[in-house]
Amino acid sequence: MTDQLRPYEPLTSDNAALVLVDHQIGLMTGVRDFSTGELKHNVVALAKAAKALKLPIVVTTTARDSMWGPTFPELVEALPGAHIIDRSSVNAFDDPAVAKAIEATGRKKLIFAGISLEVCAAFPAITAIGKGYDSYVAVDASGTFSETKHEAGLLRMLQAGVILSDYATLMVEILKDNGRPEAGAVYEALDMPWAKLVGQIAQSHAK
């Protein structure tokens, strides 16, 4: 388990990378802890915000052609040109191509999201801890097949020292300053209509 007394070191655009694991059509059909619509929304928002923040993004599938099908199209559309690494290993970090892609980011803080939460997100996140990374999981951009699996996955990750959060908080932590030029794109990606409303009110007052 990681040292819980270690000083807080925030996520930044320079130290973080995003790893999206197995957001595939076949696996999506079995998710029961979130609605399909909500999960798709959250994953796409996470990907778009990470892209706006210029984070390296690694995307992987497992058994794409034989079992679980392709990445769901909305996510593919959100990441045009992204190379999606297909593999056979259950743990994405066990695949040499995925491990090489993660290492190539040069980042020491890894944000994971995956289907299922307790396997596809948890296994590589826990493995990353053992390899010396700081490991985060966006719980609401991951999904699984029962509430029991959801709860067991969270407990196992916490025991291993993985930091659990929601996707929007992780992205806003990286944004850090609402004065950054990327702020508008990040909030738009996160699909926060109230942020747009406040911006419109501010603009109207300035006129």
Residue 59, beta-bridge partner list: 20, 84
Helices 122-130/147-160 angle, 10° precision: 10
Report, as residue numbers or ranges, the catalytic residues.
Answer: 120
Give the angle subtended at the CA of 13 by the CAs of 9 and 17, to the nearest 5°.
90
Phi-psi region of 142 (alpha: psi -120 to 50; beta: other; left: phi over 0): beta
Phi-psi region of 26 (alpha: psi -120 to 50; beta: other; left: phi over 0): alpha
Place of tokens 């199209």: 73
Residue 183 has, within 13 A of its CA and on its CB side, a CA count of 9
Please name the helix (run of DSSP H) or strand (run of DSSP E) that holds residue 198, with its range, or none: helix 193-206
61 φ, ψ (degrees, to nearest 5):
-125, 165
Distances (CA, A) of 111 to 17, 20, 29, 32, 206: 6, 8, 24, 22, 38
